[in-house]
Structure 1
Amino acid sequence: MSVCAVVVAYHPDIAALRKLSDNLHAQGATVIVVDNTPPQSARVPRPALDARWLSQGGNSGIASAHNRGIEAALAAGHAHVLLMDQDSQPAADMLARLLAAEQALLAAGQHVAAVAPVFEEPRQRVSSHFIRLQGWRIRKVHCRHADEHVAADYVISSGCLIRAETLREVGPMEDALFIDYVDIEWGLRALSRGYRSFGVCAARMLHELGEAPAGLPFSRRKRYPVHSPLRHYYHFRNALLLYRRDYVPIAWKFNDGWRLLLKFGFYSLMTPPRLAHFRMMLLGVWHGLRGRAGALRAE
């Protein structure tokens, strides 16, 4: 089963990107790098990697970059696509464990959307969980043992393995979202068409979330990923855009909306520059309510 890894790059750390490419090759994957770095801002020449390099000519967004790589992978006849971020590093056996889990799930009669590893955030040293709507509540589901396959509503894009036939059936990522909620939208769309994503507890990966995490002043243990004000614009706008979709469950909208409200308060009060975060999140809400999509342009 041939696998093509699609790695999205944006101002990449060349040493880390080379390490990732070598890692994926060692696991048997063909590698395509889709570069979102604007040409005029690139400070280093294209690195010598054993990978096909596709330049977007600028920042086209994560969804568009994924779709460019997916299209190239499918055109080359690959049976699977493995989506990867430049700041992820899979364990040496991650791909083999994902493929084995997928085959076991298919043999059990599951309609598999994607399989994905458990990732560890190296700065927080915590393992990820998976998200599943149960009744009227969104639950965080943690792995109980290594052999478990956790049913999820969606999985994060980095590290997720998708069959070519599933991509043809469910469709590509949604370009108009640009960045953020792209993996959530695809997972929920797949779920509405009878496909389920799964977390593979035996598969592992290192993955950084955002910038340095922040926490509440009275709690040193609980930390939250922090992104730029611009990224928070997309986060809030795209959440509102998804709430308009009829294939997104009503209970999911209410639960995610409540969490979004809490995030608005936290990032407005706890993450400098507070006013910039507040303004960009508010603009994202306004544009989401208006149904505005695509890249944010200067007005």
Structure 2
Amino acid sequence: MRLAAAVVLFHPDETVVSNIQSYNAFVDVVIAVDNSVTKNNEVVKSLQGIENLVYLPNEKNLGIAAALNLAAKHSSEQGFTWLLTMDQDSSFDSKEFKLYKQQVLDIIINESKIGLICPSEVKKSESLQITEPAFRITSGTWINLHVWQQVHGFDEQLFIDEVDKDLSCKVFLAGFRLIGFDNVLMKHKLGTKKNTGFLKLFFVKERTVHSPFRLYYMVRNYLVVRKRYGKYFPDIFKKRDHDFMIMLKNNIFFCGNFFSAVFQAAKGFVHYKRNKF
């Protein structure tokens, strides 16, 4: 079976090359969709040196959803039926990916109702262990392109955050399985890690923070996706509500730009209420 991979680029540095090389030998083609406003010519030259890589520049930031839809459409037109989606800062240990690929092939050969297959962000098992349904991040996920087409792909109105959760919910509600392999670990970076606390003295611990600009999308899109699917997955969104409040607290109080973070969070809430994208 021929397999494709897609990676979305946004002002990448040279590390993206080694990240792609951690999995490109295990797939037939890697489609690199570049959302960078200004191209890094040195990085692009290095990428074009990867034998099975197809480079698709957008010349502007169309968002991760549009970039992934472009890669999925390109893959489908080339006859591929499964697509691995990766972030530019994600990678695999080669032994880990070889195991992942084999487990994917074993399960999709025998089961036609699988929509998405994903690895774990934290390795939970040394032997094959499956979580189902698995609502996880886009990066490292194998997408059944027939299913992608059936549910009308990624929602480009969301632009960046929650596009993975939105697709997962659509796929599950369409009657397809979401498989998570808990014995396969992917290396991935989520936001910026900071050791900080209130006044940098109290409750000091490692926290994940993002830019105020990103916080806007995190707030707006979470509320949009919650409204769409909360009634179908009450237990999942109950936990996600808790995680959302922690994310909001960490980003407002610890990102280093309090007033801008408050403004962007409020803007995200207002745009959600007004259904503005």
Residue 226 of structure 1 corresponds to which residue in structure 2?
209
Aligned: 1:35 with 2:34: yes
Assess, with a 3 A threshold, how the Cα gap between structure 1 residues 81 and 109 changes in structure 2: closer, same or farther.
closer
SS at match of 2:62: coil
Aligned: 1:204 with 2:153: no
Q: CA deviation at 1:197?
A: 1.8
Higher helix share: 2
Q: CA deviation at 1:152?
A: 3.4
Q: CA deviation at 1:270?
A: 2.4
Q: CA deviation at 1:162?
A: 1.6
Taking the aligned partners of 2:271 and 2:148, their CA distance within structure 1 comes to: 29
Taking the aligned partners of 2:167 and 2:18, their CA distance within structure 1 comes to: 28
Q: CA deviation at 1:171?
A: 3.0
Taking the aligned partners of 1:291 and 1:153, their CA distance within structure 2 comes to: 28
Check conservation: 1:242, 1:248, Cα contact below 8 A.
no
Residue 87 of structure 1 corresponds to which residue in structure 2?
89
Residue 3 of structure 2 corresponds to which residue in structure 1?
3
Assess, with a 3 A threshold, how the Cα gap between structure 1 residues 263 and 164 changes in structure 2: closer, same or farther.
closer
Gaps of 5+ in 1: 120-126, 129-142, 294-299
Check conservation: 2:9, 2:87, Cα contact below 8 A.
yes
Taking the aligned partners of 1:196 and 1:113, their CA distance within structure 2 comes to: 5
Structure 1 runs (4+) greater than 6 angstroms displaced: none
Q: CA deviation at 1:83?
A: 0.3
After the TM superposition, which residues 145-160 of structure 1 pair with which residues of structure 2 at under 5 Å, given as runs?
Answer: 145-160=126-141
Residue 44 of structure 1 corresponds to which residue in structure 2?
41
Taking the aligned partners of 2:231 and 2:102, their CA distance within structure 1 comes to: 30
Taking the aligned partners of 2:109 and 2:29, their CA distance within structure 1 comes to: 26
Assess, with a 3 A threshold, how the Cα gap between structure 1 residues 213 and 200 changes in structure 2: closer, same or farther.
farther
Q: Which amino acid letter does the alignment assign opposite residue 56 of structure 2?
A: L
Q: CA deviation at 1:278?
A: 1.1
Assess, with a 3 A threshold, how the Cα gap between structure 1 residues 275 and 75 changes in structure 2: closer, same or farther.
same
Taking the aligned partners of 1:106 and 1:250, their CA distance within structure 2 comes to: 25
Taking the aligned partners of 1:56 and 1:20, their CA distance within structure 2 comes to: 21
Assess, with a 3 A threshold, how the Cα gap between structure 1 residues 10 and 193 changes in structure 2: closer, same or farther.
same
After the TM superposition, which residues 116-265 of structure 1 pair with which residues of structure 2 at under 5 Å, given as runs?
Answer: 116-119=118-121, 127=122, 143-216=124-197, 218-219=202-203, 223-245=206-228, 249=232, 251=234, 252-265=236-249
Assess, with a 3 A threshold, how the Cα gap between structure 1 residues 272 and 25 changes in structure 2: closer, same or farther.
same
Q: CA deviation at 1:246?
A: 5.2
Q: CA deviation at 1:98?
A: 3.0
Which residue of the other structure, out of 281, 294, 298, is the alignment partner of 2:265? 281
Assess, with a 3 A threshold, how the Cα gap between structure 1 residues 233 and 211 changes in structure 2: closer, same or farther.
same
Assess, with a 3 A threshold, how the Cα gap between structure 1 residues 224 and 184 changes in structure 2: closer, same or farther.
farther
Gaps of 5+ in 2: none
SS at match of 1:158: coil
Q: Which amino acid letter does the alignment assign opposite residue 63 of structure 1?
A: A
Q: Which amino acid letter does the alignment assign opposite residue 22 of structure 2?
A: N
Check conservation: 1:82, 1:162, Cα contact below 8 A.
yes
Q: CA deviation at 1:112?
A: 2.0
Taking the aligned partners of 2:27 and 2:249, their CA distance within structure 1 comes to: 45
How many residue pairs match? The answer is 268
Taking the aligned partners of 1:95 and 1:236, their CA distance within structure 2 comes to: 33
SS at match of 2:119: strand
Q: CA deviation at 1:250?
A: 5.7
